[in-house]
């Protein structure tokens, strides 16, 4: 696994790097093969989706892209909390991805039945590696409590699950969610954490700094097997990390620091 931390001066510069990297990966996909992309919800992905829609409508071979989600709230697709709705309004309405290539989690369905249906769909559509579907690219966010996808602290058993997707519950609101399990996430070819804003600085430092108790946090359990793990952060989210180290400046890319944290 290659684990890489890149810190940017702004969210816009992070968005430019992310979209360039994603576009290259998609366009390098051989003819006759699809590029499987698992999306996440949240404010940072919304910015990235809008950037893609505005700048890459004609620069990406969108017909090669298969769109999935890493998690979804159990709400209707037109609900304000729906990850699908956010993606549709910020990206899917503006780029020519064929409707047949979009596979949403049906948050309005029975959660248990839908987690099984979606698992089966992913199993049938996404090529497998060691008998487990292998997404080409999976986006993840970082919650202030250390959760990722919809795997919350106290639910580390979802990293041992043999299922691809399971039903989870938000610890405070008790809202039902459908989430990719740790085993599926860690089989992705590339996993990208997208972390922005000062509110994430404490938990990012806790996870990346291997602070006491960090091993109990879901975000600290992401280690893609034979894959690439990217932590893409803006300066505000990386504030506590930057306070502790000298910077390597990459001005031509608007990057504050680029570090290989671990290679194995």
Residue spans of the domains in the chain: they are: 2-263
pLDDT of residue 242: 80
Helix (H, G, I), strand (E, B) or coil at 146: coil
pLDDT of residue 247: 47
Write the CB contacts of 40 (distance below 8 Å, at least 6 apart in sequence): 69, 70, 71, 83, 139, 140, 141, 149, 194
**Domain 2-263 listed as CATH 3.40.50.1360:** yes
pTM higher than the cut 0.85? yes
CB of 192 within 8 A of CB of 228? no
pLDDT of residue 93: 98
The 10s digit of each residue's pLDDT in 210-231 is: 788 889 999 999 999 889 999 9
Q: Can you tell me the distance from the alpha carbon of 98 to that of 175, in angstroms, rounded to the nearest whole number?
A: 31
pLDDT of residue 264: 31
Q: Which residues of 172-194 are buried (b: 16+ CB within 10 A; e: fewer)?
A: eeeebbbbbbbbbbbbbbbbbbb
- Please report, for residues 48, 223, 247, the alpha-carbon distance to residue 232 in angstroms, rounded to integers and kept in the order given: 12, 15, 16
pLDDT of residue 226: 86
Phi, psi of 48 (to 5 degrees): -65, -40
pLDDT of residue 248: 52
What residues in the chain have per-residue pLDDT under 70?
A: 1-2, 244-264
Q: Can you tell me the distance from the alpha carbon of 79 to that of 81, in angstroms, rounded to the nearest whole number?
A: 5
pLDDT of residue 172: 92
Longest CA–CA span in the chain (Å) reads 51
Q: Can you tell me the distance from the alpha carbon of 250 to that of 9, in angstroms, rounded to the nearest whole number?
A: 10
pLDDT of residue 257: 60
Mean pLDDT taken over the chain: 91
Residue 69 pairs in a beta bridge with 39
């Amino acid at each position: 696994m290659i684990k890489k931390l890149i810190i940017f001066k702004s969210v816009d510069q992070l968005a430019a790097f992310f979209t360039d990297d994603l576009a290259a990966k998609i366009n390098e996909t051989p003819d006759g093969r699809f590029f499987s992309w698992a999306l996440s919800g949240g404010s940072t992905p919304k910015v990235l989706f809008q950037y893609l829609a505005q700048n890459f409508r004609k620069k990406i071979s969108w017909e090669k892209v298969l769109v999935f989600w890493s998690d979804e709230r159990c709400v209707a697709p037109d609900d304000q909390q729906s990850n699908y709705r956010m993606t549709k309004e910020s990206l899917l309405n503006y780029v020519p991805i064929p409707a047949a290539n979009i596979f949403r989690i049906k948050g309005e369905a029975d959660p248990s039945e839908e987690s099984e249906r979606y698992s089966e769909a992913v199993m049938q559509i996404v090529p497998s590696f060691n008998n487990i579907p292998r997404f080409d690219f999976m986006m993840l966010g970082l919650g202030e409590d250390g959760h990722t996808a919809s795997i919350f602290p106290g639910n580390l058993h979802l990293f041992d699950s043999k299922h691809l997707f399971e039903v989870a519950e938000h610890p405070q609101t008790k809202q039902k969610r459908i989430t990719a399990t740790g085993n599926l996430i860690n089989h992705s070819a590339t996993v990208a954490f997208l972390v922005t804003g000062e509110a994430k600085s404490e938990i990012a430092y806790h996870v990346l700094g291997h602070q006491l108790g960090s091993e109990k946090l879901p975000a600290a359990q992401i280690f893609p097997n034979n894959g690439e793990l990217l932590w893409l952060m803006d300066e505000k989210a990386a504030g506590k990390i930057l306070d502790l180290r000298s910077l390597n400046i990459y001005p031509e890319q608007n990057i504050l620091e680029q570090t290989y944290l671990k290679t194995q």
